[in-house]
Amino acid sequence: MTQLSQQKAPIMEALTRYKSKRVVPFDVPGHKRGRGNKELTDFLGEECLTMDVNSMKPLDNLCHPVSVIAEAEVLAAEAFGAKHAFFMVNGTTSAVQAMIMTACKSGEKIIMPRNVHRSAINSLIISGAIPIYVNPGVDKDLGIPLGMSLSDVKRAIEENLDAKAILINNPTYYGICSNMKAITDLAHLHGMLVLVDEAHGTHFYFGKDLPASAMSVGADMASVSMHKSGGSLTQSSFLLINNNVSVGYTRQIINLTQTTSGSYLLLSSLDISRKNLALNGEEIFQKVSDMAQYTRDEINKINGYYAFSKELLNGDTIFDFDVTKLSVHTLDIGLAGVEVYDILRDEYDIQIEFGDLGNLLAYISVGDRHRDLERLVAALAEIKRRYGKEKNGLFDQEYINPEVVMTPQEAFYSPKDRLPISESAGNVSSEFVMCYPPGIPIVAPGERITEEILAYIEYCKEKGCFLTGTEDNQIEFINIVRE
């Protein structure tokens, strides 16, 4: 392959060439460049619909790329410092699942923190891999799960020397980073692959003075949500591999679940966004860091909120902090994070990323404007004045250590009974209950339901958290493993 430049965007350029040829389409999609669906074309725009095309020789094929997609993969790998990069159009969920399924077969162990995204536990249901959970550290003041302690990881490895891999969640939704380099070196010392769910860490590869990226510390695989901080379209991500992980085998695993009709809108957005970050990423993320720090400083002038940052570092479970994240503790104004989230949306027309029981997260990117940051700060000050109260009776934790009784796959496919959720304590859950976002399970398949968990779920309902995961859409019943 000829030397490629980060100035190029091979998929975008191929689409532009194809469009200029005015090819008559007797293939799918059936809207035929938008002509067959006027309302859709009016809504999304003719330019968009003309780029929504099918795989063909000039445009390559995502399942087995040999030309423009293959070139785009080379450029992405180079930009991220990886051996290879795969374009993922089923979201980072499919990238996480592909990592775990590449590393582990049915019955093989994987070490992971319990505060993983549901996609990681879903992959255990699909693959039959066995989780060895490491409980994350917990900040009792903020009520948030942290990273994994190196000593806890060491213990898990020594007690499970037959484990095939370890999964690191880095950074967490709140911006907390584990000691990835030390964990990676320790895992490699024992012949284990290191997989990193880096959904919220795209910018680590391009910004200056940000936490270490997975590839930079020698991790074997990483799933990267370009659509979060990287600027591509929703549902588009990269799966990066390193070291001795097989390109061919990983692609086979990806093709087990990823669509055979890869969207060229998503593919080209990844290609264009990679080019933008490779050329301008350092400048972009310096601006984002500066905006986040400015907003953090202004929020911390409002008595009662705490926008936290690197002052939390402890050298272990909070090894580093992502300063682009605007994470704000709200309990001292007497409101749960999700209550502030709802007020911001319903009364101030401000949509932030998420609010949970104690904190909220505003996602800041280069697309934000200074006046929008000022509006957020002013709204938070006014919410405190209008709604602030004593914090009595508020839950102060975001993580409950689980009692794991059986594997997620075994529990999910077991014969099951349906119980009112209020009467389910003592039973083993065969399904998830979680708040979304962030999508970290309160209880997962194979875990025992406790009174503490039920109280937590009820409190989440009272505070307006969006609960999901159960077969029952109202979260009033739960499926339990039949005794």
**What per-residue confidence (pLDDT) applies to 396?**
67
Superfamily, domain 408-481:
Orn/Lys/Arg decarboxylase, C-terminal domain (3.90.100.10)
Stated pTM of the model: 0.94
- Reference 482, options 405, 410, 409, 415; nearest CA is 415
CA dist 411 and 445 (Å) reads 5
Domain with CATH 3.90.100.10 in the chain: 408-481
Domain with CATH 3.40.640.10 in the chain: 67-259
Query: How many CB atoms neighbour CB 400 within 10 A?
Result: 18
CA dist 269 and 275 (Å) reads 10
**What per-residue confidence (pLDDT) applies to 175?**
96
Query: How many CB atoms neighbour CB 265 within 10 A?
Result: 18
Fold of the domain spanning 67-259: Aspartate Aminotransferase; domain 2 (3.40.640)
CA dist 214 and 242 (Å) reads 10
Cα Rg for the chain, rounded, in angstroms?
23
Between the alpha carbon of residue 88 and those of residues 103, 235, 236, 249, the distances in Å are: 18, 8, 6, 16
Return phi, psi of residue 393, to 5°: 85, 5
Domain with CATH 3.90.1150.10 in the chain: 281-387
The H or E element containing residue 344 is helix 337-348
How many residues does the structure list for the chain?
483
Q: What is the pLDDT of residues 183-194, one digit of tens each?
A: 999 999 999 999
What share of the chain has pLDDT > 70, as a percent?
99
Q: What is the pLDDT of residues 319-377, one digit of tens each?
A: 999 999 999 999 999 999 999 999 999 999 999 999 988 999 999 998 899 999 999 99
Task: Kindly indicate whether the domain formed by 281-387 is annotated with CATH number 3.40.50.1370.
Answer: no
Give the CA count within 13 Å in the CB-facing half-sphere of 352: 29
Q: Is the pLDDT of residue 289 over 90?
A: yes
What is the token pair recorded at 274?
A: 């990679």
